[in-house]
A and B are shown apart, each in its own frame.
Chain A
Amino acid sequence: MALSTDVVGKTYPPQTYAVGREKVREYALAVGEGDPLHLDVEAARAAGYADLVAPPMFAVVYAAPAMGPAIFDPEVGIDFALMVHGAQQFAWGPLVIAGDEVTTTVSVESIEERGGVGFFVFASVSVNQDGHTVCVGTWTNVVRGI
């Protein structure tokens, strides 16, 4: 199957995620974070934050609603049976705090075929309610047997 690159540059509608205190705690516990900034509201407040601090990798949670429509877009044409997550990069700005509203916009950065393998790269930009960019993500999905 030939890859279509017509969709490169396509940008999807922004999605806003409201960061909840218990979701931050649930995520922190699942990945074994022990820093009280993620678990103990009093500790977070004592350190100068308004509420629990999200671990940096919580970016996967607030970006997810925006990523879904992009990777499932039939115009992109990913065959999920053959897809693996190949690489990931995040660059972070200010910390995300429970109570924040984070708006993420996803676009198709590149689609390439090399040696029968398709590389689908998506870019996400997440901005908090104050207009600060809290995270920029580069998501590389690899599809074999192209």
Chain B
Amino acid sequence: MNFVEGAKLPELTVTPDKYLTVRYAGASGDYNPIHIDEEFAKAVGLPGRILHGLFSMALVARAQTEAAGGPASLKRLAVQFRGMGFPEQEITVTGTVASVRDGVAIVHAEAIQDGNAIIRDAVAELRLPRGAGR
């Protein structure tokens, strides 16, 4: 993509499958039962198992690195976790280039699921490959 102010990142859409939270728990080491045990989640007042916030953040990170040319491009990412995310519902990550200066783009992003911003006010700093932005 062409990194200029106002440009949109390609949307990233992901529907975590029923067992995603189990695989992410294993991969990350975060076995909090609110993410993997439906009965436990309901017993503590949640509608059901919720996604790990850091999984949702990883989707926001992936949207950046896929747009900017690989993992080395992502220099900083700050997010606010708000609504809860759930398995088996589509998540859409969107982003808009806020500024480009000296080969570094600032992107504002969010992750939406069922109309609810599960990550909002995300700010990414991307070091662009030569020629990808000014």
A residues sitting closer than 8 Å to B (CB atoms) are 23, 26-27, 29-35, 37-38, 53-57, 60-61, 64, 81, 84-92, 95, 138
Contacts and interface: CB of A to CB of B under 8 A. Distances in A.
A78 to B, nearest CB: 13
A101 B24 CA distance: 22
A34 B74 CA distance: 16
Nearest to A47: B70
Contacts of A30: 20, 23-24, 26-28, 55
Interface string B22-36: 011011111000000
Contact of B71 (A29, A35, A90): A35
B99 interface: no
Interface string B62-79: 100110001110111111
Contact of A88 (B24, B29, B54): B54
Interface SS of chain B: helix
Contacts of B44: 81
Interface of B: 14, 20, 23-24, 26-30, 44, 53-55, 57-59, 61-62, 65-66, 70-72, 74-81
Contacts of A91: 75-76
A95 B59 CA distance: 18
A131 to B, nearest CB: 19
A37 B62 CA distance: 13
A64 B28 contact: yes
A88 B53 contact: yes
Contacts of B76: 89-92
Contacts of A61: 27-29
Nearest to A86: B81
B58 A55 contact: yes
